[in-house]
Structure 1
Amino acid sequence: MASPKPSFDDLRLLDVKTKLSALALTVPLAITTLGGCSMTDNNSDDTTFAGTSTSRDASDAMERVSSGIYDLIGVKGKTSDSRPTVLDCSGKDRNTHFRILHPWSFYPASASDLGEAMARLKMELPKHSWKIVVYGPDTSENKNISLTAENDKKKVGVHIVQMSKNDPPKLSLDVVSGCYKVPDGQEIERF
């Protein structure tokens, strides 16, 4: 007896699970890189301290950082419609401390512009207070070009992967904040 053909909803669920698995592999790298960088506050036990904020305000700030990175790409294309999410801070009370992750993708109008988009980011990020800490092929089978940078002023890091063999080709970006403390008397809104 033949197995039933998967429905459109089954395929969408598989696509979401695949993306979440890829995100689960990428986010720890970005968080580890950011957590060990020079943005450390002396009172934070080697965890980047980004200040005091509500999770909603911190999320809005992360979207502005992502928008600034998008402006540096300088190549025509479109972005994914993704929103920031709240993460726990390693070693901190999850009721009082949090980080913001904004994963998004950039799809150039022409696949041939993907390399130019990554090259522009490598050139432009340092001109805008970003320090590139990792650049080169990753360990994947495709040997994707990977760039990790941190911004001490904004207490944020970004991990960018040039996925030339993806269909369609894209830049995958994970923008991760340092660790925020929620204002006294307020709760972290999780989304």
Structure 2
Amino acid sequence: MNKLTKEASSGILDIIDLAAKVTEPGPRPTPCSGYSEDAGVVRMRHPWSVYGVPVPDMEKAMDRLRRELGKKGWKIVKDGRDSSKAKSPQIVADRKNGMFSVDIRLHDEREHSGSTSLIEVTVVSDCFRRPKD
């Protein structure tokens, strides 16, 4: 599932299509709610960000995501503002095969000195039972 999660994230990055910096952490397993830790039922969670380009370019990338996600096997289930104080633009989409969801937010920090504007992406898999070693 780690490989599939990386592929899903890579597809999102391809749509964003910015000559930007990208954070490096890879997918990590996290427990699924409703299961004990011993049950071995987890989901993969892959948070990453794109930064280091002007906000207008990031806004164009968000528009590209709106146009292209559906063509790449995703269904947008939310396109609006998040519930944060900043009311950041947010796109939430589910993979049509049901294996993944993605939450994408544009954080415009131009008015906050010292803060970096970025597109925050979190790809999350469906729950699955980890293979026993």
Shorter-normalised TM range: 0.7 to 0.9
Q: Once structures 1 and 2 are overlaid, which stretch shifts more, 77-86 or 170-179?
A: 77-86
| 1:130 has 2:74 as partner | yes
- Counterpart residue type for residue 13 of structure 2: Y
* Equivalent of 2:6 in 63, 68, 71: 63
| 1:150 has 2:94 as partner | yes
Report the alpha carbon displacement of residue 85 of structure 1 after superposing the two structures with TM.
1.4
Q: For 1:61, what is the secondary structure of its paired residue?
A: helix
Report the alpha carbon displacement of residue 147 of structure 1 after superposing the two structures with TM.
0.8
Report the alpha carbon displacement of residue 108 of structure 1 after superposing the two structures with TM.
4.8
Report the alpha carbon displacement of residue 82 of structure 1 after superposing the two structures with TM.
1.4
Aligned residues: CA RMSD = 1.6
> What is the TM-score normalised by the length of structure 1?
0.62
Contact persistence 1:89–1:97 (CA under 8 A):
yes
Q: For 1:147, what is the secondary structure of its paired residue?
A: strand
Residues in 2 aligned to 1:103 and 1:155: alpha-carbon distance in whole angstroms: 16
Contact persistence 1:98–1:180 (CA under 8 A):
yes
4+ aligned runs moved over 3 Å, structure 1: none
Task: Give a deviation string over 1:23-47, Cα, whole Å, max 9, x none.
Answer: xxxxxxxxxxxxxxxxxxxxxxxxx
Relative to 1, partners in 2 of residues 1:108 and 1:115: Cα closer, same or farther, differing over 3 Å?
A: farther
Consecutive unaligned residues of structure 1, counting only runs of 5 or more, are: 1-57
Consecutive unaligned residues of structure 2, counting only runs of 5 or more, are: none
- Counterpart residue type for residue 87 of structure 2: K
* Equivalent of 2:123 in 157, 175, 180: 175
Relative to 1, partners in 2 of residues 1:124 and 1:136: Cα closer, same or farther, differing over 3 Å?
A: same
Identity over the aligned pairs, expressed in percent?
32
Residues in 2 aligned to 1:129 and 1:74: alpha-carbon distance in whole angstroms: 17
| Residue of structure 2 in register with 1:92 after alignment | 35
* Equivalent of 1:159 in 103, 114, 117: 103
**Larger radius of gyration between Structure 1 and Structure 2:** 1
Point out the structure with the larger helix share: 1
Point out the structure with the larger strand share: 2
* Equivalent of 1:113 in 57, 64, 71: 57
Residues in 1 aligned to 2:98 and 2:18: alpha-carbon distance in whole angstroms: 24
